[in-house]
Amino acid sequence: MDADRRAGIAESGGVPDLVAILGDDEQAEPRNRKTTEIGRHGPHRGTDPESLFRIIFANAPTLDGPELAALSRTACEHGIDVVIGLQERRGASLFNSVAWLAADGRRGHHRKIMPTLNERLIWAAADGSTIGHRWESWHGPMGALICWEHWMPLARAARHATGEVLHFALWLAVGERHQLASRHYAFEGQCFVAAAGTMLTRDDVVEGFRSLGLQDEAAMAMIEAIPADRILLKDGGSALIAPDASYVVRPDHMSRDLVIDAIETVRVTEGRLYLDTQGHYARPDIFELRIDTGAKPGVRYGGGDEF
């Protein structure tokens, strides 16, 4: 977005009606975000990964906890919708999740159905109960996928079936492949895509951990095992993408500036004249996708007809 348009938005009120906060596995509590990078490198020789996981787990919010409640109140007070990535604590496991906090108090969420590679050291795989979420906003239906879920063709199909007008692609950072996946998603779904990533340095991780005020030498040793020459760990790249796969706001990998712009939802309708993968460009007589959206708790209590 050019400077004149950014200034115009600011002068017209200055407050967006929808905010996407950071990307993929990011915490609602900023200090805790800095510790998540260690999960990308895995255990180092001579370190104690359990000590750091214990700290991450203790600081991970629950969906019904005070952290998201406070953020929800703030969203309502300012009349904005908030979409935020988080490490969700659920039972004795962590899930890579995204929460939607609406301006009127409504909420929604999605849990990543397949952690990628060494993410499985940290996060559990979710069931299909959140894959078909449809967040109704005044823009129209919204939804999200997390990181490599965008390379799961059937997960994309499940999301496109909800008729998204605006999709949130949450990444740790939005590199070239992630830009390609986000732009492909925008064109395939004929929707706008907000691709969200974060800027993260080694100093951010170290200082963030120290800000917790913990005297845990084992956890600190694991963080300090991140090579000193890896100054920039994640390089942002947030962008806003139109239904024709063009950029509304191009990524800037060396900037921490906010990505701010407006979307013209009429472009979604116009684009679906040419491509509607769940309508006139589908072949349900040949292809059919069935999705099990039932919750899978693993243990069920009951009797009679329930079993």
Q: Which pLDDT score, from 0 to 100, does residue 304 have?
A: 67
pLDDT of amino acid 190: 98
* pLDDT(160) > 50: yes
Statement: residue 19 has pLDDT above 90:
no
Angle at 289 between CA 283 and CA 293, to 5 degrees: 150
State pLDDT tens for residues 230-284: 888 999 999 999 999 999 999 999 888 888 899 999 999 999 999 999 999 999 9
Q: How confident is the model at residue 47, as a pLDDT?
A: 55
Within 8 A by CB and 6+ apart from 276, the residues are 190, 282
Residue type, position 11, single letter: E
Average pLDDT, the chain: 86
Q: What are the chain's domains?
A: 3-280 (3.60.110.10)
* pTM over cut 0.95: no
Task: Round to whole Å and give the CA distance between 24 and 275.
Answer: 28
Phi, psi of 87 (to 5 degrees): -90, 110
Phi, psi of 167 (to 5 degrees): -115, 140
pLDDT band at 31 (very low <50, low <70, confident <90, very high): very low
What pLDDT does residue 1 have? 39
Residues 53-102 pLDDT 10s: 889 999 999 999 999 999 999 999 999 999 999 999 999 999 999 999 99
User: What pLDDT was estimated at residue 222?
Assistant: 84
In this prediction, residue 306 carries a pLDDT of 59
pLDDT category at 225 given cuts 50, 70, 90 is confident
Can you give the pLDDT at residue 291? 95
- Locate all alpha helices (DSSP H) within the chain, ordered by sequence: 3-11, 30-33, 49-59, 66-78, 153-160, 176-189, 202-210, 217-224, 266-271
Please give the pLDDT value at position 23: 43
Count CA atoms within 13 Å of residue 283 on its CB side. 2
